[in-house]
């Protein structure tokens, strides 16, 4: 059986292998770091300590909202407007607003104001550009407030 090399394996060969290995590791790390920083939309909370102090209050609010039993089905319609059907809320008493956020931060946040339609559904005054949006809805009926978040494409 013949060896693949014609000469002995030297320190230069070993050094080249080590340099090539670490060059690949560094290149992959740089690529992954650039991808992570270019796709992260921003801060999740401004101050994590304050958020931790308010967490139990947020859980109580979420439990109250869940107990209302309201649901929403939203989709984009012609012209980029958002059509939403709110179920479970008192008929004719609820108002709806929302903030649309592009999940990758490529477009600025957009406040959506809704107008009630004759069938009881809601349509936004503002339109959204094509793509995936994370929409945070807030419905109010008297003193009751209900919030949810969902993707709208």
Tally the domains of the chain.
Answer: 2
User: Do residue 23 and residue 73 come from a single domain?
Assistant: no
Residue 24 lies in a domain: yes
Range of the domain at 35: 9-40
Residue 58 lies in a domain: no
The edge-to-edge listing of strands for the beta sheet with 110-116 is: 71-76, 81-87, 122-127, 110-116, 95-101, 133-141, 144-152
Residue 120 lies in a domain: yes
pLDDT of residue 6: 74
User: Do residue 33 and residue 97 come from a single domain?
Assistant: no
pLDDT of residue 4: 66
pLDDT of residue 91: 82
Residue 113 lies in a domain: yes
Q: Return d(Cα 3, Cα 101) in angstroms, integer.
A: 61
Residue 59 lies in a domain: no
Residue 64 lies in a domain: no
CATH of the domain at 136: 2.60.40.10
User: Do residue 125 and residue 81 come from a single domain?
Assistant: yes
8 A C-beta contact, residue 71 and residue 84: no
For residue 30, the number of C-alpha atoms closer than 13 Å in the C-beta half-sphere is 6
> Taking the model in full, what pTM does it have?
0.69
User: Do residue 138 and residue 78 come from a single domain?
Assistant: yes
- Write out the chain's pLDDT in tens, 153 residues: 555 667 888 999 999 999 999 999 999 999 999 988 877 766 778 889 999 999 999 999 999 999 999 999 999 998 999 999 999 999 889 999 999 998 776 788 999 999 999 999 999 999 999 888 999 999 999 999 999 999 998
């Amino acid at each position: 059986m013949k060896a693949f090399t014609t000469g002995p394996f030297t320190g230069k060969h070993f050094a080249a292998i080590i340099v090539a290995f670490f060059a690949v590791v560094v290149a992959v790390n740089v690529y992954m770091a650039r991808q992570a920083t270019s796709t992260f939309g921003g801060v999740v909370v401004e101050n994590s300590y304050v958020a931790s102090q308010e967490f139990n209050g947020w859980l109580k609010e979420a439990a109250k909202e869940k107990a209302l039993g309201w649901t929403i089905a939203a989709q984009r319609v012609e012209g980029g407007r958002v059509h939403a059907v709110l179920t479970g809320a008192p008929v004719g008493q609820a108002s709806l607003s929302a903030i649309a956020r592009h999940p990758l931060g490529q477009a600025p946040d957009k406040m959506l104001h809704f107008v009630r339609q004759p069938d009881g559904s809601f349509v936004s005054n503002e339109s959204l550009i094509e793509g995936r949006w994370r929409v945070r809805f807030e419905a109010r009926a008297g003193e009751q407030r209900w919030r949810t978040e969902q993707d709208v494409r």
